[in-house]
Amino acid sequence: MKKIIFLSLLVCIFGFLGADVEIKFNENLASEIIKTEFVDNVEYFNIFELNKALKSKISVKILERKLFLEIYQKQLIFLLDSNYLKHQNKIYNLPDKIIQNENKYLIPLQFIKKIMPLIYPEIIFKNGIIIANPPVNFGINTIVIDPGHGGKDPGAIGFSKKHFEKDIVLSVAKILQKKLMKELDVKVLITRDKDEYVTLQERTDFANKENADLFISLHCNAHPNKNASGIETFYLSTAKTDEARAVEALENEVVYKYEGGEEAMQKYDELAFILADMAQVEHLNESSEISYLLQKKLIAKMQCVDRGVKQANFYVLRGAFMPSILVELGFMSNKIEEQKLLKTAYQIKLVNAIFDTVKEFKQKYDNLQ
C-alpha cells in the first residue's frame, strides 16, 4: 500500500507532460523533438534527449554531482541540484534547479530558451522551435601549439649562454604547424609566432576560445647538473585534490542557497574559481594517453635518455578544456643536447615524432564518431 501511495506521488510530481520542443536544422536534416515535462510547475527536459538530437558528448560524475556536456565543440558543466552551469570562465544562473530523477537529468527549459542562444549565437529559439546548425563531428579538428616563454622571458638558457629555450621552441613550433597543416586535415594555431611575451592565462584562454581539441606546449629543460639530458612529457595532475575540490564546490553551493545576498556573490566567485580549476580534469585520460604515445615515439626516434611521462600541476595546462600536454624536448644546460637542439635537422626529427603521435591520436578519435 505504501508503495502505491509513493508511486502515485511520484506520478503526481513527475507525471505532467509539457509542450515538446522541436529542433529544426538549417540544412536538409530531419527535425528532432525534445520532450518536456513539468516538475513542481517548472518545465524541464531530459538532457539525454538534447544530447541525442545534437550528437553532443555527455559524461556524468555522480560523486562530484557534475554533468559535462559538449555541444558544438563547447563544453558546458552543469552542477546537479544547483542552478548553475558553466561555460569557459562564465557561470550562468538558471531560475530553477537541475535535478536528477532516476536515470534522467532534468534541466529547466529556460536553458534552451534563454541560455543556449547566449552561448551559441548560431542557435535561435523562436515560437517554441529551436533553429540550429547540423551537429558537428567531434574529432580532432583544431590543434593549438604553444611555444613556451618568449619576449622578456627567455626560458632555459643554454650551456653556451648564447641560446635560449624561447627561440628553439618557437622554431620547432613553426615547423610542426606547417607540417600538421599540410599533411593533416586540421586547423593548427600557435599561441605566439614571434618573440613576444604571452601570459600563461592568455595561452589557455586562446585555446579555449578557439575550441581547440588538443593543446601541445613545447619546452626545453635546464638543470644545475650539466649531465642531465633526455626527453620527458607531462600532463596535468589534480587527481589528489580533485575530490576535495568537488566537495568544496558543493559546500559553496549550499552556502549560496541558504545565505543569499552579497555573501552569496562572494561564494559565486569562489565557485567560478574552483570550476575553472576543474577544467582539465575531464580530459586527463586523453592527456595521459597522448603523453605516453608521444614519449614512446620521441624516444624511439631521437634515441636519447627516456625520462618518462610525468604528472605535474603546470598552470598553463590547468584551465584548458581539451587534452593538453607539455613536452620537454631536451636539456639546454647539457652541452651536447644544446648543440643538437639548435640544428634544424634535429628539430625536424622532433617534429616528425610529434606529427606521427598527433596523426595516430587523431585517427583514433576521429574513428570514434
Task: State the number of CA atoms in the 13 A half-sphere of 120 facing the CB.
Answer: 22
Q: Decide whether 77 or 332 has the Cβ nearer to Zn ion.
A: 332
CB of 155 to Zn ion, least distance (A): 4
Cβ atoms of residues 353 and 290 within 8 Å = no
Residue with cell 549565437: 121
Complex with Zn ion: residue 86 or 219, whichever CB lies closer: 219
Q: Shortest approach of Zn ion to residue 218 CB, angstroms? A: 8
The nearer residue to Zn ion, 163 or 219, going by C-beta atoms, is 219
3-state class (DSSP) for residue 324: strand
CB of 146 to Zn ion, least distance (A): 10
Shorter beta-carbon distance to Zn ion: residue 148 or 230: 148
Closest to Zn ion by CB, 55 or 310: 310
H/E element holding 220?
Answer: strand 214-221
Q: At what angle do helices 344-367 and 284-302 cross, to 10 degrees?
A: 140
Q: How far is the CB of 170 from Zn ion (least distance, A)?
A: 12
Bridge partners (DSSP) listed for residue 183? none
CA distance 204 to 200: 7
DSSP string, 48-116: HHHHHHHT-EEEEETTTTEEEEEETTEEEEEETTSSEEEETTEEEE-SS--EEETTEEEEETHIIIIIH
Cell numbers 578519435: residue? 365
Nearest to Zn ion of 105, 206 (CB atom): 206
State the nearest-atom distance from the C-beta of 205 to Zn ion, in Å.
19
Give the position of cell 585534490. 241
Q: What are phi and psi of 140, to 5 degrees?
A: -90, 100
Nearer to Zn ion, 180 or 222 (CB): 222
* Min separation Cβ 345 and Zn ion, Å: 22
Name the residues that contact Zn ion, by CB under 5 A: 148, 155, 219
- Nearest-CB residue to Zn ion? 219
Whether residue 236 contacts residue 317, with contact meaning beta carbons closer than 8 Å, is answered with: yes
Q: How far is the CB of 308 from Zn ion (least distance, A)?
A: 18
